Amino acid sequence: MKSYREMNAEELKTERKLLEQKLEQYKAMGLALDMTRGKPSPVQLDLTNHIYDSLAQDGFKTKEGLDTRNYSAPAGIPEMREVFAQILGTSADKIFLGNSSSLNQMFDSLMRALVFGEHDSDKPWGQIEGRKWLCPVPGYDRHFRVTQTLGFELVNVPMTENGPDMDIVEELVKDEKVMGIWCIPVYSNPDGIVYSGETCRRLASMKTAAKDFRIYWDNAYVVHHLCDDEAEQGRVPDILGLCEEYGNPSRVYEFASSSKITFAGAGISCLAANKDNLDQAKKIMAVQTICNNKVNQLAHARMLPDLDAVKAHMKKHAALLRPKFEKTLDILGSELEWTGTAHWHKPNGGYFVSIFVMPGTASRVVGMCKDLGVALTPAGATYPYGKDPDDSNIRIAPSFPSVDEIDTAVNVLCVCAKITAVDKLLEEQS
């Protein structure tokens, strides 16, 4: 079959007529489908329904006899700190557990830097006019909104198959106003890319003009594999250890949470950092809060006592998610690949598929889908300030809808992407 780029104007017009017929069929269906946010589906949440049973059965005390109902253990109960240490491949003394939402921990960490400065800062970051933050793109819209809201100028860094383009990062960090970078090292949101070992080493070892430069290492999808074969699963080195090895021990804050392991609205967030960073953070957090929800930590530790238990639980999530990702990728493969007008990375985990349609058409594709009753994340959302310079990237979130809904929604997306591509090519040929 000829790709769209190989077709002449007549062939493209014939193709458009066929696509219009499909479009009319979808219009007549009166669809109302939502592919916007990467939320666990209700069946995934059901996997955790019994998490609180152990509290009634076995009480509220930890193995060491600590009463989780009362104040104490501000950094979290030892057994759950150990579980997160195993998940992140670090040691429990580097772990601080907070309440639901790692995004909250990221926001608070930045607020502390802005108001008080880091332990190695000359002044609070809030006093740095024109402060900047590096944003690998496409990326997570909420990350970008955090740093935008807190007064950073956001600087795009293109993603590659190995993580952020490190040649560009190494150049940009020569600017002393560049204070940090967002990183989602395993199954990046939205592309599902896993950083290579070399990318991790370059991030840990690079020379930065700002001596208090920080990597915000958001390991949100560290155990969120779609395949059971361990050899295929994304894995990155322990970044805290790497930064220490390269003489930059305070360079990184690592984040994770149980949001997409247990309950997204009632999870545990995790901040991992070296002693100096953690001491500085704890000093301020101790003023804010006496301790976090340790009852929830205990319930989690009993359900997921170690990394093996976490892995076994995540396999159940994978079994539910895999058919949805497969359906999405199958349709993209059969409907779009041959046209030569779109490309995407096949993720082995995480929550998203990110497709690049013909430059200059993503907004129109998303708009057309909306008119047909298929809600997608707004085009541009995966870029700082909501502006995709190429107007090309569209994030698909297959976790929440059913396989049948995905089938329809992704087919609609493909028809819209094809029509806009045909129009663009006809425009270019005229």
Ligand X SMILES: Cc1ncc(COP(=O)(O)O)c(C=O)c1O
Distances in Å between the alpha carbon of 310 and those of 141, 230, 302?
A: 27, 14, 11
CB of 85 to ligand X, least distance (A): 17
Does 38 engage in binding with ligand X (CB under 6 A)?
yes
Nearer to ligand X by C-beta: 14 or 289?
289
Q: Distance of alpha carbon 293 from its chain centroid, rounded?
A: 25
Window 189 to 208, contacts with ligand X (CB under 6 A): 189
Count the residues of the shown chain that bind ligand X, applying the rule CB under 6 A.
Answer: 13
Does 218 engage in binding with ligand X (CB under 6 A)?
yes
- Distance separating alpha carbons of residues 140 and 221, to the nearest angstrom: 13
CB of 175 to ligand X, least distance (A): 25
Question: Site mask, ligand X, residues 219-248, x = CB under 6 A?
Answer: -x----------------------------
Nearest 5°: phi and psi at 271?
-115, 130
Nearer to ligand X by C-beta: 140 or 195?
140
Does 399 engage in binding with ligand X (CB under 6 A)?
no
Q: CB under 6 A: which stretch of 95-103, 209-217, 291-299, 372-380 binds ligand X?
A: 95-103
Distances in Å between the alpha carbon of 407 and those of 246, 316, 349?
A: 48, 22, 20
Dump the DSSP string for 313-344: HHHHHHHHHHHHHHHHHHHIIIIIGGGTS-EE
Does 144 engage in binding with ligand X (CB under 6 A)?
no
Does 184 engage in binding with ligand X (CB under 6 A)?
yes
Does 409 engage in binding with ligand X (CB under 6 A)?
no
Q: CB under 6 A: which stretch of 26-34, 205-213, 257-265, 421-429 binds ligand X?
A: 257-265
Nearer to ligand X by C-beta: 26 or 263?
263
Does 101 engage in binding with ligand X (CB under 6 A)?
yes
User: What count of other Cβ atoms lies within 10 Å of the Cβ of residue 288?
Assistant: 8
Q: CB under 6 A: which stretch of 43-51, 100-108, 226-234, 384-392 binds ligand X?
A: 100-108
Does 182 engage in binding with ligand X (CB under 6 A)?
no
CB of 273 to ligand X, least distance (A): 16
Cα angle at 102 between 98 and 107, to 5 degrees? 100
DSSP, res 72: -
Nearer to ligand X by C-beta: 257 or 348?
257
Nearer to ligand X by C-beta: 4 or 133?
133
Binder among 103, 134, 266, 381 for ligand X (CB under 6 A): 103
Dump the DSSP string for 19-48: HHHHHHHHHHTT--EEE-S-PPPHHHHHTT
Nearest 5°: phi and psi at 319?
-60, -30
State the burial class of residue 207 (Cβ atoms within 10 Å of its Cβ: 0-12, 13-18, 19+).
Answer: exposed
CB of 259 to ligand X, least distance (A): 3
Window 363 to 382, contacts with ligand X (CB under 6 A): none
Find where tokens 């238990």 sit: 309
Nearer to ligand X by C-beta: 104 or 205?
104
Find where tokens 């013909």 sit: 358
Between the two ends of the chain, the Cα-to-Cα distance in Å is: 23
CB of 335 to ligand X, least distance (A): 26
209 neighbors 324 (Cβ within 8 angstroms): no
Binder among 44, 48, 121, 259 for ligand X (CB under 6 A): 259
Does 269 engage in binding with ligand X (CB under 6 A)?
yes
Residue 214's closest CA among 363, 109, 291, 136?
A: 109
CB of 187 to ligand X, least distance (A): 9
Coil, helix or strand at residue 419: helix
Q: CB under 6 A: which stretch of 96-104, 146-154, 157-165, 288-296 binds ligand X?
A: 96-104
Nearer to ligand X by C-beta: 351 or 356?
351
289 neighbors 316 (Cβ within 8 angstroms): no
Does 384 engage in binding with ligand X (CB under 6 A)?
no
Does 354 engage in binding with ligand X (CB under 6 A)?
no
3 neighbors 418 (Cβ within 8 angstroms): no
Contact residues toward ligand X (CB under 6 A) are 38, 101-103, 140, 184, 189, 218, 220, 257, 259, 264, 269
